[in-house]
Amino acid sequence: MRKLIDSTAPAPALFRSVGHSVKHESAARHVAGTAIYIDDMPLTARHLHVAIGITSIAAGRIKLLDVSAVRTMPGVVDVIVQADIPGKIDIAPVFDGDPLLAGSTVLFHGQALFAVAATSFAAAQRAVAQVKVEYEPLPGQQSVALAAETQDFVVPPHIISRGDVAAAFTSAPHTISGHIEIHGQEHFYLEGQISEAMPAEEGGVVVLSSSQHPAELQKLIAEVLDVPMHKVVVEVRRMGGGFGGKETQAAMPACIAALFARRTDRPVRCRLPRKTDMLVTGKRHPFSSDYSAAFDAEGRILGAELVLAADCGCSADLSMGIVDRAVQHADNAYYMPNVAIRGLPCRTNKVSNTAFRGFGAPQGMLTTEAMMDDIARAVGRDPLDVRLLNLYGPGRATTPYGQEIEHHVLPDLLAQLAASADYRKRRAAIATSNADSPVMRKGLALTPVKFGISFTTTHLNQAGAQVAIYTDGSIHLNHGGTEMGQGLFIKVAQVVASAFGVDVSQVLVSATRTDKVPNTSPTAASAGSDLNGMAALDACNKIKAGLIDFACSTYDCAAADVHFTEGQVRAGSLTFAFADFIKQAYLGRVPLFSSGFYRTPKIWYDRKRGEGRPFFYFANGAACAEVTVSALTGEYRIDRVDILHDVGTSLNPDIDIGQIEGGFVQGMGWLTTEEMSWNADGVITSNGPANYKIPTSADVPAAFNVALFQRPNGENSIHRSKAVGEPPLMLANSVWCALRDACSSFAGYRMNPVLKAPATPEQVYWAVQQAKAFAASGKLQ
């Protein structure tokens, strides 16, 4: 350009970068209602709206699919069935098994069967009902137990073992065994699945999607349309919540919108209404887990055996990684010298279950927390003491899959929380008050979380970013991560602001696009800021290298004397406003943009042997929950929760606390009120917010104390921070354990009531009944 902008913006009073609690980049737009989601984009008269027709049986064959009456409904422009797909029919992420539209076989109730494009959303919805389908129903598999028994798996089981488990059980003074049923969880992102596709030149398509994985959508759309990937552009500005539910599940609406856009040459919006969304998209995996432990008189684990049977639904989707992670987290924070953990990825005729914050780890971990309580009650000790006794520590630091725990955070963290939450005094007070209370009983639990950070699929641990500085000093950042509310955009912007010593307001993050940073990994595995922050830093450092060279040669100083700080660039004895320096660099023909790349070091995993170092590091935390239960009804309230969580050196403390609180409450919902239900025919009966209850504000304890554990990451992560997206969800295990503790009090803590998860009032009631029956008869019923 010929003439540069003269004026330089006044320097801000505070330079906000890494470590500051900068607000979410869209906070002001969120509250003003001006943050744009896909359904808020302008509509033209040419726009078409899609409705999805779904199967009404869970298993069988389709004898007849007649959409002729659908075609003649008012407003209908196009209808597609499987035969209309020009390219690949399967849109599965890893292993085939997820046809975009059903062909001759029905895999589950709610499977997409056909799609309608019409001139209005209502017209499309009304037209769908006019389909004629004849089925030949077949007996479907609805039982995880049966699937496990008949080895009906979607992928091979994952087994990790060490030592001589049988010998440990033979020689140990004590053993226990138990079983736990863990339900799934509906993501209930407030913005349902949505995509909009616009036809582009040369048979291409531009797709806006609410997706955690735009690169995968690009690939799947290209396959479905049978065009090269470079003809498909996918853009994600923001999601109205993701939680894993938009990692693979955004693909169906995106592919259908793209297909209609190509067929009709019109812009097409495909939005799933809430009920459809709840029927056709996958959920958190239900697990049916068996555990047994051998231990000494103090409760020290000598051997453990766990079988984690996951209900994967009808296909693999991401179930291999999810079951692997369940297996890899069944140790949680505890050293198990002799151990065998088997993860069974069971096939059923249900919607294919998928990623959900925690990715299998919550189910593995909850199983073990149940086991820890059982051990404590067997030896008559406080469950916290048994947990502390079994924590990983020096000399007891190898996980069942062979990764060494190199940084022992939890012993200190648990001690600090036990003190700040006044655990011992409260435990004693509860013992006294429960003894005098026939109806109302209190429960208390303090549970740890140790969560491995990295995709267990090693190749996904890579990221790219683009950074550009314009001649006015403003900075444009783009990276492969997507913003779903977690604050990724602001965190990575802070990293860039720190690199150049400018205020974060000078950095703008733009929508994630497959034509800006290609071949990106999903924003998942909590790794968003770790990976993209590092990639962005790499880009910054490349630009800075050129700028420093320029400064050294132009201003005759050493590289060590060039500093980017507080909105200024110091080159030896000279000081420039950042924008002025950038102008000079531009005139000096220095490149002001770069891409950056990052691959996580040190990690590898051999799945066949169940060995490796799958995780770069571990994020840790602990929570202490107190509850009150009514024996008359099983109703309860959560009185108080204290959390201490390890985010390393926080990039943004407020954003991190938001993730911790939100993750905890989401986990609390999973373990308390959120009950996924299917009927005997394999139909989801919890199909809307009227019968699937996520927490409301009144469910959150009034006493809710959250603090960050102050210790930098022992590994060289981005500014020594730690990932925070998923780990806090499992802090809610404390609530479930506290509820079970209260139930067990009715048997003098001498038995371990079976408590299904979620622990709805009904389940708590039955657990109390078991404990009372034991107390009355002295034996298990």
Q: In whole angstroms, what is the distance from residue 189 CA to residue 656 CA?
A: 19
Task: Please pick, from the candidates 254, 484, 540, 571, the single residue that binds another protein as defined by CB under 8 A.
Answer: 484
Residue 665 engages another protein in binding (rule: CB under 8 A): yes
Q: Is 479 helix (H, G, I), strand (E, B) or coil?
A: strand
Q: In whole angstroms, what is the distance from residue 533 CA to residue 488 CA?
A: 9
Residue pair 77/48 in contact (Cβ under 8 Å)? The answer is yes
From the list 253-261, 397-405, 421-429, 635-643, the region that binds another protein by CB under 8 A is 635-643
Task: Please pick, from the candidates 9, 23, 119, 510, the single residue that binds another protein as defined by CB under 8 A.
Answer: 23
Residue pair 215/229 in contact (Cβ under 8 Å)? The answer is no
Q: In whole angstroms, what is the distance from residue 91 CA to residue 111 CA?
A: 13
Shortest distance, position 187 Cβ to another protein, whole Å: 8
Residue 286 engages another protein in binding (rule: CB under 8 A): no
Shortest distance, position 706 Cβ to another protein, whole Å: 8
**67 backbone dihedrals φ, ψ, rounded to 5°:** -105, 15
| Pairing verdict, β 611-613 and 604-606 | antiparallel
Residue 662 engages another protein in binding (rule: CB under 8 A): yes
Q: Between 87 and 695, whose beta carbon lies closer to another protein? A: 695
Task: Please pick, from the candidates 29, 63, 424, 750, the single residue that binds another protein as defined by CB under 8 A.
Answer: 29
Q: Is the peptide bond prior to 139 cis by the omega test (within 30 degrees of 0)?
A: no
From the list 63-71, 271-279, 293-301, 338-346, the region that binds another protein by CB under 8 A is 271-279
Q: Between 287 and 765, whose beta carbon lies closer to another protein? A: 765
Q: Between 199 and 663, whose beta carbon lies closer to another protein? A: 663
The contact pattern for another protein, residues 603-632, with x = CB under 8 A and - = no contact, is: -------------------------xxx-x
Total residues at interface with another protein (CB under 8 A): 84
- Footprint (CB under 8 A) of another protein, residues 308-347: none
Shortest distance, position 664 Cβ to another protein, whole Å: 6
Residue with tokens 């089925």: 135
Task: Please pick, from the candidates 18, 70, 117, 191, the single residue that binds another protein as defined by CB under 8 A.
Answer: 191
Residue 730 engages another protein in binding (rule: CB under 8 A): no
Task: Please pick, from the candidates 4, 5, 35, 94, the single residue that binds another protein as defined by CB under 8 A.
Answer: 35
Q: Between 366 and 706, whose beta carbon lies closer to another protein? A: 706
Q: 223, 404, 726, 762: which is the annotated catalytic residue?
A: 726
Shortest distance, position 441 Cβ to another protein, whole Å: 10
Nearest Cα to Cα of residue 178 among 342, 292, 341, 326: 292
Task: Please pick, from the candidates 98, 216, 675, 715, the single residue that binds another protein as defined by CB under 8 A.
Answer: 675
Shortest distance, position 442 Cβ to another protein, whole Å: 11
| Pairing verdict, β 232-236 and 205-209 | parallel
Q: Is 503 helix (H, G, I), strand (E, B) or coil?
A: coil
Residue 255 engages another protein in binding (rule: CB under 8 A): no
- Footprint (CB under 8 A) of another protein, residues 104-133: 122, 125-126, 129
Nearest Cα to Cα of residue 234 among 274, 266, 200, 271: 200
Shortest distance, position 774 Cβ to another protein, whole Å: 18
From the list 110-118, 563-571, 579-587, 663-671, the region that binds another protein by CB under 8 A is 663-671
- Footprint (CB under 8 A) of another protein, residues 435-474: 439-440
Task: Please pick, from the candidates 19, 572, 712, 761, the single residue that binds another protein as defined by CB under 8 A.
Answer: 761
Q: Which residues contact 558 (CB under 8 A, 6 or more apart)?
A: 552, 572
191 is catalytic: no
Q: In whole angstroms, what is the distance from residue 267 CA to residue 379 CA?
A: 66
**99 backbone dihedrals φ, ψ, rounded to 5°:** -65, 140
- Footprint (CB under 8 A) of another protein, residues 422-441: 439-440
Nearest Cα to Cα of residue 45 among 125, 123, 120: 120
| Pairing verdict, β 268-271 and 232-236 | unpaired
Q: Between 1 and 690, whose beta carbon lies closer to another protein? A: 690
Q: In whole angstroms, what is the distance from residue 290 CA to residue 555 CA?
A: 70
Strands (E), 119-264: 132-137, 158-162, 174-182, 194-199, 205-209, 232-236
Shortest distance, position 648 Cβ to another protein, whole Å: 20
Q: Between 185 and 218, whose beta carbon lies closer to another protein? A: 185
Shortest distance, position 430 Cβ to another protein, whole Å: 15
- Footprint (CB under 8 A) of another protein, residues 524-543: none
In order of 462, 488, 510, 686, 719, the CA distances from 656 in angstroms are 23, 10, 22, 32, 14
The 3-state DSSP composition of the chain as helix, strand, coil percent (nearest 5) reads 35, 25, 40
Shortest distance, position 488 Cβ to another protein, whole Å: 11
Residue 766 engages another protein in binding (rule: CB under 8 A): yes
Shortest distance, position 765 Cβ to another protein, whole Å: 6
- Footprint (CB under 8 A) of another protein, residues 213-242: 238-242
Task: Please pick, from the candidates 177, 685, 710, 781, the single residue that binds another protein as defined by CB under 8 A.
Answer: 685
Residue 84 engages another protein in binding (rule: CB under 8 A): no
Q: In whole angstroms, what is the distance from residue 382 CA to residue 333 CA?
A: 17
The C-alpha torsion from 377 through 381 and 386 to 387, rounded to 10°, is 80
Q: Which residues pair with 134 in a beta bridge?
A: 64
So which residues are the catalytic ones? 726
